[in-house]
Amino acid sequence: MTAVEGVRARPRMAHALAPAGVYLGVRAVGVAVLALMAGPARLVPELTSWDAAWLLAIAGHGYDGVPAHMVDAFGNHTRDTATGFFPGYPALVAALGVFTGGNLGVAGLLVSALAGVAAAYGISRIGELVPGGSRRAGLLLTALFAATPMSVVLSMAYTEALFCALAAWALVCVLQERWLLAGFCAAGAGLVRPTASAVVGAVGLAALVAVLDRRHGWRPWAGGLLAVSGLLGYLGWVALRTGEPDGWFRVQRSGWGWYLDGGAATALYLARVLAGGERVFELVTVLALAGSLVLLGVAVARRTPWPLLAYAALALMSVWGTHGLMNAKLRLLVPAFVLLVPVATGLARRRPTTAVAVVVAAALTSAWFGGYALTTWRYGI
């Protein structure tokens, strides 16, 4: 390569690496602040705490080998307790663990880091494809996603980064009407988290519309059927294992306290915090829950493509409509990244200095809050 070719290649390389650079830059700030608040020696233990311990145990021992001292939310350990966690993330951690000398903690953090970068490219592409979108909007959407209040989980040995990567690319493929790839990504998401029902629903509805419009032949049929395979496959496996058709749902309710209640528990939680909540984490959770509905309304008003709205609405239903650990609801909002599309497209039309100032402020606030959630807040996330 000549010197001239090298100079010409640099802008192309910077363009190609921009989503990864933006995402990793924001997350690096978050991890650095966490290291300052926890201390360098506590950084990896904090990033592999809470649910991460279960996911890494499943990666290392399988569902039947999880140590007996690991108990559910009610202090119990049964043969089926670990099946509350889906297998996709632990399987990838176990596979990567071969290359980390069996160190599953490092493997888990690497899976999350790589998945986060993949999510960044998918989310950036969504910002380009929506009406009024642009390259700048895509990068801003990526930055805002990486700086959501509980985005620290994207850097932990948690499932959020992997799920968001699969969800983002499923939505990109839907917008581009690439049905088989959309179905494949949705199927993968269905092996990672139960909230994949939002991805499966969005892909399935879009495929159904294509079928009714008689577009693209057999591909929407195949994509729609493929989309449900991961989620239904795992739920079916747990049903066979437990001998109960609703086995997974029973495990979640009896062991972890999660079940659909139409939003009653969430409403009571909001009322309690607003009446006398004094803890920062709870107040931020309330503000985020309320803000999610406002952002959904803005997204509808801005005529965001309906498959993205369907995904966002279904994702919020799973957050608002379930009884369970209220402390986790802030984390569960992280995959609802499409709610940030109107914010990103609006910022993209502002002066660059304004957009940069908003991103920097969000990144610093998120970094502090993530450190607070892991080092000061005493309850599970």
C-alpha to C-alpha distance for 365 and 328, rounded to whole angstroms: 19
- pLDDT tops 80 at residue 7: no
> Per-residue pLDDT averaged across 237-258, rounded?
96
Query: What pLDDT sits at residue 9?
Result: 64
Distances from the Cα of 216 to the Cα of 174, 181, 183, 184, 207, angstroms: 12, 14, 14, 17, 10
> Per-residue pLDDT averaged across 317-344, rounded?
96
- Beta-bridged to residue 260, according to DSSP, are 322
> Per-residue pLDDT averaged across 6-32, rounded?
88
Amino acid identity for residue 353 in this structure? T
- Beta-bridged to residue 322, according to DSSP, are 260
β-pairing verdict for 259-260 and 322-323: antiparallel
Query: What pLDDT sits at residue 48?
Result: 97
> Per-residue pLDDT averaged across 65-78, rounded?
94
Q: Cα angle vertex 87, ends 84, 90, to 5°?
A: 110
Q: Which of 215, 226, 213, 327 is nearest to 269 (CA)?
A: 327
Query: What pLDDT sits at residue 277?
Result: 62
Distances from the Cα of 39 to the Cα of 4, 253, 266, angstroms: 46, 36, 34
Averaged pLDDT of the chain: 95
> Per-residue pLDDT averaged across 227-243, rounded?
98
Q: Which of 127, 134, 132, 222 is nearest to 172 (CA)?
A: 127
Token pair for 229: 């395979």
72-102 tens-digit pLDDT: 999 999 999 999 999 999 999 999 999 999 9
Q: What percent of the chain has pLDDT over 70?
A: 97
CB atoms within 10 A of CB 109: 22
Q: How confident is the model at residue 1 (pLDDT cuts 50, 70, 90)?
A: low
